Structure 1
Amino acid sequence: MTRAREVLVIGGNRYFGKRLIARSLAAGDRVTVLNRGSSAPPPGAVHLVADRNDERALAGALAGRTYDVVVDQVCYTPRQAETARRVFAGRTGRYLMTSTVEVYEREDSPGPVPEGAVDPRTVTVDLELPWDDPEFLEGHYGEGKRQAEAVFSADGDVPFVSVRVAHVLGGEDDFTGRLQHYADRIRTGSPVAVPPVTHPATYIHVEEIADFVFWAAGEDFTGPVNAASHGELTVEDLCTAVAARLGCPRPVFKVTEPPGDRSPFAFDRHYGMDNSRATRLGFAFRDVREWLPAAVAETLGKEN
């Protein structure tokens, strides 16, 4: 009989994080959720309360506990990574951090970008930057994730994988408001602001990324891995799908020059990821155009 895994999820108790927890519990894992106490985990999961930025509090909450795998949903800075690296040394057999497509924000590629375009082992870490400043962190989200990956990758003591997540869509609990932005403008006939030339991006459904992280937590590969559905979408594709759901005419687009406001997903550079590594490792992605209409319907709901 296979022993149940001990799984710790740090943060991420909403959106695809809560779906990941549900999958782990359904698989028979013993799941612990650690957060600051803002929300309780689902029934069946153990709840630990600590601020992951407070090393002493984090170590105290974990005293005497070890895990087969840690899934870190809320590591945004190299400082947070350094704290976690020290606290979890000797406590886990695998550390998985959810990262982002934004790590490729400096890569100007005409096509999908492979993981090797950003090797975390070559990224310079600067712990003295003002990572505790919310405004700075918001403007350096991709850089924070790059450097956090670099901290874990340089350690080598714990098998580490960073899941670089594409833009996530779908679900009735999508809190980002991005598709709702389109719905509001299309319903009123207001123009959608776009750059002079729009470029496509890769996306992934909320259920698919939960499947992916659950799968990756149980594998033994290490290093960065891109998680994105097959295919790409432009902002025009997204708006057309929203208009079809609403039964409205085709959206109107208005070109704005920087630094003018842009609509969500209105990219002036290619934002696609190459998912071939994950495919070779055994994960079967869906095609983005297969699930897009359902994702729009889920997110906008009956009120739209």
Structure 2
Amino acid sequence: MLYLFIIVMIVFAFVLTRFYLLKKEINHTIRQLRDLNQNKTAKKIDILYNDPHFEELAKEINNQIDLTKQAEAVKRSTENELKQAVSHISHDIRTPMTSILGYIQFLESDDISSELKKEYIETIKNSAGRLKILLEDFFELSIIEQADYPLKMERVPFNDLIVEALLGFYEEFKKRNIEPEIHIPDDDIMAMADSSAVKRVVENLIVNAVRYSTGHVFIVLDQVGEAVQLKISNSVDNLSEQDVTHLFDRFYKADQTRIGKGTGLGLPIAKSLMEKMNGSISAELGDNQLTMICEWKGGKTSIQ
């Protein structure tokens, strides 16, 4: 009977001690969480009492802390990007608007000649055109980035799409005295994509290449493994690796002296469309040559 009593007391003491230690660990965890929630510390949860259940609980709490920090970082990044976007679009809208209003005031004067009036009207038209393009691009980007943006994904022949898009730039190439070097296979290269989105991507990249090329433009369509790859390269001056990392940011202009020559939205639009098609787009810089690389999955060559 005595032995039974001793065993019961030992078990009771063990349970009581364990209960005390668990309660102490709970209070320790509560204090850590309170300090974390009150921004008194950024340290993750640690445990003093080695218990597998508490270790698992601490692990899950720390995972949630990591997810919360990631979400906050994304939120801050999005807020900063939105602030920068608002700042950029305000500046880009204000510039042509100031020009339009200024020249309208000149036109109200009775002391200017008919030649000057024509010149001022032409300037107003150009500024209004720039403003129209900016607003259209900004609206297009906001629509594309919506989760339910419609795409008609089907197997399309990239050869024809690329050629069709390039034909629209014949006069622009000629005007700028640029002879693009084009390499497109004779055999059809097929991949899952939205044909209109592909054309829009190609057009935006060609516009960027033609606008900022210092003389040479190279266009190469190829199949790389199971993917369709399009490379559009142009020679550049005064472009850094830092610029390349930001080329797909909204309103980014590598050369700030080019204000008015573009909205800074062409490449972000191309990136958003590529992502919608489950493709990828990247930029590389080497030997004063900027290369845009687009890849669509599921490429297949059709032998004729």
TM-score exceeds 0.5: no
Q: TM-score range by the shorter chain?
A: under 0.3
Identify the structure with the greater helix proportion: 2
More RCO (CA 8 Å, sep 6+): 1
Larger Rg: 2
TM-score normalised over the length of structure 1: 0.22
